[in-house]
Amino acid sequence: MKAIRNGILIVPDETGHFCSKEGLTLLYDEKIRAIRPEGKDAGHADLEEVYDAGGAYVAPGFLNVHIHGCDGADTMDADSDALDKMSLFQARTGVTAYLPTTMTCAFSDIAHALCTIRHAMHGDAHGARVLGCHMEGPFIAPSKKGAQDAAHILPADFSTIEPYADVIKIITVAPETLPDDAFIKACTAHGIVVSIGHTAADYKTAAHAIEAGAHHITHLCNAMTGLHHRRPGVLGAALDSTANCELICDNVHLHPTMQRIIYHAKGGKHLILITDSLRACGLGDGPSELGGQKVTVRGTLATLADGTIAGSVLCLNDGLRIFRTNTGAPIPSIIEMVTRTPAKELGLYDEIGSLSEGKTADFAIFDRDFRMRRTVVGGTTYYKK
């Protein structure tokens, strides 16, 4: 048994939403065994490790549901060593579980990546745990492809992805390319979250897709129709619903003012902060690559040769800090956006996503500026300052 003392624990309150509490000790091995007032663990003579958090926040480990790569590795490398590298880097940022994200490439390459992810899902974690895949493309709109390769865009067909239904946890699709609701219904029946993204859909089409079961929005505002007072677009449909909306809070993809508008429009709920990072994340300025396309990184901006923004170089803990600075949202509420909300959406909240007895011992420990001090995955420390 191990213990964490002297921290500010972010735990569910009586409504299920998060609040911060002091004066508690957390006891764990591979699971959370108890959360009790400090001093009540004195009878545990078998404690093998006691970590003094020194007044830092102790939160459930973060979930990153949209990440292409980091630290020189990419999901489309379709290589177990690349996923291990990503897992270890993600743990440095407080992430304890994630969805490696594919992109629009030849489907044979996507299939290879999905098989690699499947193997990682069932293997031993080396850092952050691989939960499955977010499949971003190839079922997208050419006019809103962003940094994806239009040559490999395909019409949505569930039979194409059905062999990988156990791996795909979220799939991005442009709803205006669907002839009917069959694709959305089939995905939902197989436990796949359907996300609206890379789409030129109008408000009516997007709202219908949400009603049909597409309850997730891929990187809100980016690669979709925006908000106009006579044409609300996908953005309007997202804000006018309970769909979970991804946000890339690097101040490149979303202006600080837009982050505040979205936060207030959604009432602080149904938001999921992501990174959408590429292999250049963590490597600094210079040349990189995304889906076979050349990328240049300067500071926080990653672009293709034509200037198109190509993912991000954001670390998730930095995104949390930026979002708090821009919105003034309380830390417990922000933590819900990378723990409780995505875990519930993925059907995993009984196992992860909160500091609750019996759940997996996944922790992110950080200071008020979201600088990481320690990350624990399944009871094992994978990062410590």
For 165-205, write each residue's pLDDT tens digit.
Answer: 999 999 999 999 999 999 999 999 999 999 999 999 999 99
Looking at residue 45, what is its pLDDT? Answer: 59
- Specify whether the CB–CB gap between 374 and 382 falls below 8 A: no
For the chain, what percent of residues have pLDDT higher than 90?
90
How many residues does the structure list for the chain? 385
Task: Assess whether the region 2-59+352-384 and the region 62-345 belong to the same CATH fold.
Answer: no
Which residues have a Cβ under 8 Å from the Cβ of 307 and sit 6 or more positions away?
none
Residue-level pLDDT at 292: 81
The CB density around residue 334, as the number of other CB atoms within 10 Å, is 25
State the CATH class of domain 2-59+352-384: mainly beta
pLDDT score recorded for residue 363: 98
Domain covering 62-345, topology: TIM Barrel (3.20.20)
Q: Nearest Cα to 311, choosing from 279, 278, 280?
A: 278
* Confidence at residue 43, expressed as pLDDT on a 0 to 100 scale: 53
Calculate the average pLDDT of the chain: 96
Contact 336, 352 (CB under 8 A): no
Contacts of 37 (CB under 8 A, 6+ apart): 23, 24, 25
Q: Judge whether 79 and 286 are in contact, CB under 8 Å.
A: no
Cα–Cα dist 336/345, whole Å: 12
Is the separation of the CB atoms in 254 and 324 below 8 Å?
no
Return the SS3 of 268: coil
DSSP 8-state class, residue 360: B
- Note the pLDDT of residue 181: 98
Which residues of the chain register pLDDT less than 70?
A: 40-45
Q: Where are the domains of the chain?
A: 2-59+352-384, 62-345
Q: Tell me the per-residue pLDDT of 245-262, one tens digit each, with 9 for 90 and over.
A: 999 999 999 999 999 999
For residue 41, what pLDDT is reported? 58
- Tens digits of per-residue pLDDT, 25-63? 999 999 999 999 987 655 555 789 999 999 999 999 999
Catalytic residues: 276
